[in-house]
């Protein structure tokens, strides 16, 4: 403490004994008067001395001197949060993930790839590359920054963390979210013969999520949109790739077409991607070997609908040389101009795109250079190593699950496997990522597929939380589900986790939510379960009579209240309170709405929806595309 700030209490306990009352009283008065004068003088001296010191301190501080005598503590200035941009998703604002990877972190011993006899190969064209080091490094950061200059849902589950299929808030007129309304329907899709010529592909199946894009003005007016749509300033466009081999384009408001469909000439089963730089480029993956040209992946210009590139997936280096589906939804790293795309042939591809485009111009060009990565373990056959799950990316680490139950962390810049975690059954889910206190975690679930022999049986659908840096299991839980293993894959009926999980935000930021199919019997029952992120214990569950393969979506009002929407296999859509798990409402959707042929028969949802504002879009297996108002 500074000496000048000390309070000095005078000693007032002295007294002189009195023998004469008058003498004592007079002496006391005199003494008290003297003490009062002394005390006043002392206090005045202290006051003026302190004031002089304060004045001197002010002068010294103003002149920059005297810092060794008087220390003024520094006050930290918080880094200002950048204002949200129109193209950024308010549900993800502000960015919170630091995305820092320590390459020296200790990997859990039971997930070291070397413990399973890993062999990995990098192929650049037809040349095997040793000691690979990417010339233009990949490093993807917070999901808020995945895309620029185009608002919306541009890939499966929105971004590199695969953590949302919803853009923006619900804004009901009366302030209460309690209803679902089927607003529009498009039913003009077709069918396409399967590769084995035994059946017809129709409509949309898992993952089958639409893309929803609000283009910048300069890009919107440069594309081949119908004139009224090109002139619509607030146009939000729905892009939906169908199993009939076409890509369809709709106005989110009313379902009217915005441009002519693109004919791909091959069934598209997974979810495409729009270039996250807001460029008019569409990336599409083939789901069956029934294409006009080959079996692989496609890149299209959305300026004029022309194909820019095709890559044949029947690659000589693939472990599955006769199967090359690209059901995985790709990602594009904006900074390095790199397309990242695992394939069912067992190869993880990256393409240096070499994009040449000026926003608003009438042409776009790419010159992709392909590099592939493949791997195998001593305990695995190559025919099981295809990838259907959509890769998630944190920094330079990519995460995916293969068809042999391997959850893999891959360094995308060195093409070195960091760790491999064996989940307890098959999984086609896309790893959902979230950073907590600077540490990334993965949420993943499994089907019930490998646990019994042929026929019907009940097994466990497992759910995990994994440390994404070390591969260490944080917690694991499960739900009982039914499944049927037929004599062929075509007759299988699989239960368990087939829809992607929800990473809770706002009022449910402490929850992660999974959907489990066939919980009450074969083709019967579905359970949506909310778990506490920290412990894996159940917070609530919601039971449905009909099973669902469709991924649930999380929506929020501007107060942060959470609402879960999930569609089932007979065309019902459920609206659930995200905090409590209680049903708010549900509807039965119909085909051919507004006509004399309107019917609820034949309506089945297996594809996953996307939401923009108050409108949800979802496709049916029979080929309808529906706009559902959440209000």
* Tens digits of residue pLDDT in 195-209: 999 999 999 999 999
Query: Do 437 and 487 share a domain, yes or no?
Result: yes
Are 135 and 41 members of one domain?
no
Tracing tokens 């944080």 back to the chain, one arrives at 474
Q: Write down the pLDDT at residue 13.
A: 34
Please tell me the distance from the alpha carbon of residue 507 to that of residue 563, in angstroms, as a whole number. 10
The beta strands (E) that lie in 314-454 are given as 331-333, 338-342, 348-352, 369-376, 392-394, 397-401, 406-411, 416-422, 432-436, 439-445, 447-448
Least confidently predicted of 31-40, 337-346, 568-577 = 31-40
Q: d(Cα 327, Cα 207) in Å, to the nearest integer?
A: 8
pLDDT at res. 317: 87
Give the per-residue pLDDT at 71: 61
76 within a domain of the structure (yes/no): no
CA–CA distance, 459 with 451 (Å, rounded to integer): 7
Give yes or no for a contact between 590 and 603, defined as CB atoms under 8 angstroms apart. Answer: yes
* Domain end position, chosen among 20, 47, 63: 63
Both tokens assigned to 347: 């190869």
The mean pLDDT value for 558-573 works out to: 98
Lowest mean pLDDT among 16-20, 169-173, 429-433, 601-605: 16-20
Q: What percent of the chain has pLDDT over 70?
A: 88
**Tens digits of per-residue pLDDT, 426-450?**
999 999 999 999 999 999 999 999 9
* The pLDDT of residue 126: 81
Mean pLDDT of 553-557: 98
Residue 80 lies in a domain: no
Residue 29: what pLDDT?
A: 43
Lowest mean pLDDT of 21-35, 160-174, 262-276, 348-362, name the range: 21-35
The Cα-based distances of 227 to 258, 264, 478 in angstroms read 9, 24, 53
**Residue 458: pLDDT above 60?**
yes
CA distance 491 to 507: 42
Mean pLDDT within 44-48: 50
Question: Which pair of tokens denotes residue 544?
Answer: 């449905």
359-393 residue pLDDT tens: 999 999 999 999 999 999 999 999 889 999 999 99
Q: Region 565-579: what's the mean pLDDT? A: 98
Question: What confidence category does residue 16 fall into, taking pLDDT thresholds of 50, 70 and 90?
Answer: very low
Is residue 83 included in any domain, yes or no?
A: no
Q: Please check whether residues 115 and 40 belong to one and the same domain.
A: no
As a whole number, the mean pLDDT across the chain is: 90
Asked if residue 86 is part of any domain, the answer here is no
User: What whole-number distance in Å separates Cα of residue 340 and Cα of residue 349?
Assistant: 6
Residues 6+ apart with CB under 8 A from 38: none
Q: Are 421 and 401 in contact (CB under 8 A)?
A: no
Q: Tell me the whole-structure pTM to 2 decimals.
A: 0.88
CA distance 339 to 279: 13
* Residue where one domain finishes, among candidates 44, 63, 82: 63
- Give me the pLDDT at residue 489, please: 74
Examine the domain organization and report whether 249 and 296 are in the same domain. Answer: yes
Burial class (CB in 10 A: 0-12, 13-18, 19+), 302: buried
Are residues 10 and 148 part of one domain? no
**114 and 56 co-located in one domain:** no
Is residue 89 in a domain?
Answer: no
pLDDT at 470 over 80: yes
Among candidate residues 134, 246, 169, the one with its CA nearest the CA of residue 201: 246
- Whether 405 and 421 have beta carbons less than 8 Å apart is answered as no
From 63, 83, 105, give the residue that closes a domain. Answer: 63
Considering all CA atoms of the chain, what is the largest pairwise distance in Å, rounded to the nearest integer?
Answer: 132
d(Cα 529, Cα 544) in Å, to the nearest integer? 11
pLDDT > 90 fraction of the chain, expressed in percent and rounded: 84
Q: What is the pLDDT of residues 131-168, one digit of tens each?
A: 999 999 999 999 999 999 999 999 999 999 999 999 99
Return the higher-pLDDT residue of 549 and 384. 549
Confidence of residue 41 (pLDDT cuts 50, 70, 90): low
**Structural domain for 492, as ranges:** 97-630
447 within domain boundaries: yes
Q: How far, CA to CA in Å, does 520 sit from each of 154, 491, 551?
A: 35, 20, 19
Q: Are residues 15 and 149 in the same domain?
A: no
Number of domains in the chain: 2
Whether residue 115 sits in one domain with residue 24: no
Query: Both tokens of residue 368?
Result: 């992709």
The predicted model gives 25-33 an average pLDDT of 47
- Does residue 88 lie within any of the structural domains? no
- Shared domain for 25 and 145, answered yes or no, is no
What is the spatial distance between Cα 631 and Cα 615, in angstroms, rounded to a whole number? Answer: 9
Residue 68: inside a domain: no
305, 192: one domain: yes
The two structure tokens encoding residue 360:
């608003």
Phi, psi of 351 (to 5 degrees): -125, 115
One domain for residues 122 and 224: yes
Short-list 142, 178, 101, 134, CA closest to 467: 101
pLDDT of residue 4: 38
Asked whether residue 16 falls in the same domain as residue 131, the answer is no
Confidence at 28, pLDDT banded by 50, 70, 90: very low
For residue 27, the surrounding DSSP H or E stretch is helix 21-63
| Mean pLDDT, range 346-363, rounded to an integer | 97
């Amino acid at each position: 403490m500074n000496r000048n700030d000390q309070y000095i209490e005078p000693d007032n306990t002295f007294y002189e004994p009195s023998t004469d009352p008058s003498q004592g009283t007079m002496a006391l008065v005199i003494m008290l008067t003297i003490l009062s004068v002394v005390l006043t003088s002392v206090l005045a001296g202290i006051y003026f001395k302190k004031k002089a010191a304060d004045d001197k301190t002010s002068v010294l501080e103003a002149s920059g001197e005297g810092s060794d005598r008087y220390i003024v503590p520094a006050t930290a200035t918080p880094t200002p949060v950048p204002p949200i941009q129109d193209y950024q998703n308010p549900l993800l604002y502000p960015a919170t993930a630091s995305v820092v990877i320590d390459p020296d972190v200790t990997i859990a011993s039971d997930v070291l790839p070397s413990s399973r006899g890993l062999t990995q190969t990098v192929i650049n064209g037809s040349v095997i590359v040793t000691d690979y080091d990417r010339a233009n490094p990949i490093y993807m950061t917070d999901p808020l920054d995945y895309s620029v200059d185009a608002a919306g849902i541009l890939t499966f589950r929105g971004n590199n963390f695969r953590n949302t299929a919803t853009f923006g808030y619900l804004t009901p007129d009366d302030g209460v979210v309690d209803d679902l309304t089927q607003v529009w329907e498009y039913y003009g899709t077709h069918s396409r013969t399967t590769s084995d010529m035994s059946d017809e592909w129709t409509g949309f199946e898992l993952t089958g999520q639409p893309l929803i894009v609000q283009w910048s003005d300069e890009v919107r007016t440069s594309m081949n949109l119908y004139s009224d749509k090109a002139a619509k300033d607030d146009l939000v466009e729905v892009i939906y790739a169908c199993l009939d081999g076409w890509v369809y384009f709709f106005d989110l408001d009313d379902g009217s077409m915005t441009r002519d469909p693109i004919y791909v000439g091959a069934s598209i089963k997974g979810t495409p991607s729009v270039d996250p730089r807001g460029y008019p480029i569409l990336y599409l993956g083939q789901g069956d070997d029934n294409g006009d040209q080959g079996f692989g992946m496609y890149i299209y210009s959305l300026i004029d609908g022309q194909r820019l590139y095709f890559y044949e997936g029947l690659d000589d280096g693939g472990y599955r040389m006769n199967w090359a589906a690209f059901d995985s939804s790709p990602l594009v790293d904006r900074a390095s101009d790199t397309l990242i795309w695992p394939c069912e042939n067992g190869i993880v591809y990256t393409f240096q795109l070499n994009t040449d485009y000026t926003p608003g111009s009438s042409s776009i060009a790419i010159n992709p250079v392909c590099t592939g990565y493949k791997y195998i373990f001593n305990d695995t056959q190559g025919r099981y190593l295809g990838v259907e799950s959509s890769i998630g990316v944190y920094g330079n680490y990519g995460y995916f699950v293969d068809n042999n139950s391997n959850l893999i962390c891959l360094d995308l810049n060195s093409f070195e496997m960091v760790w491999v975690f064996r989940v307890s059954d098959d999984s086609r889910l896309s790893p959902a990522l979230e950073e907590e206190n600077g540490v990334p975690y993965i949420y993943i679930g499994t089907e019930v597929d490998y646990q019994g022999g042929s026929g019907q049986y009940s097994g466990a659908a497992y759910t995990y939380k994994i440390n994404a840096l070390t591969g260490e299991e944080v917690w694991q839980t499960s739900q009982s589900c039914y499944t049927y293993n037929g004599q062929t894959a075509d007759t299988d009926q699989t239960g368990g986790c087939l829809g992607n999980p929800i990473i809770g935000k706002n009022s449910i930021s402490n929850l992660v939510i999974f959907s489990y199919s066939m919980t009450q019997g074969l083709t019967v029952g579905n359970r949506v379960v909310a778990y506490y992120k920290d412990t894996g214990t159940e917070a609530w569950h919601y039971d449905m009579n009909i099973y669902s393969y469709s991924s649930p979506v999380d929506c929020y009002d501007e107060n942060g209240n959470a609402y879960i929407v999930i569609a089932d296999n007979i065309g019902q859509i459920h609206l659930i309170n995200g905090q409590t798990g209680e049903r708010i409402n549900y509807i039965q959707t119909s085909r051919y709405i507004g006509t004399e042929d309107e019917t609820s028969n034949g309506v089945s949802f297996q594809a996953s929806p996307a939401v923009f504002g108050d409108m949800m879009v979802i496709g049916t297996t029979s080929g309808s595309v529906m706009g559902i108002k959440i209000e």
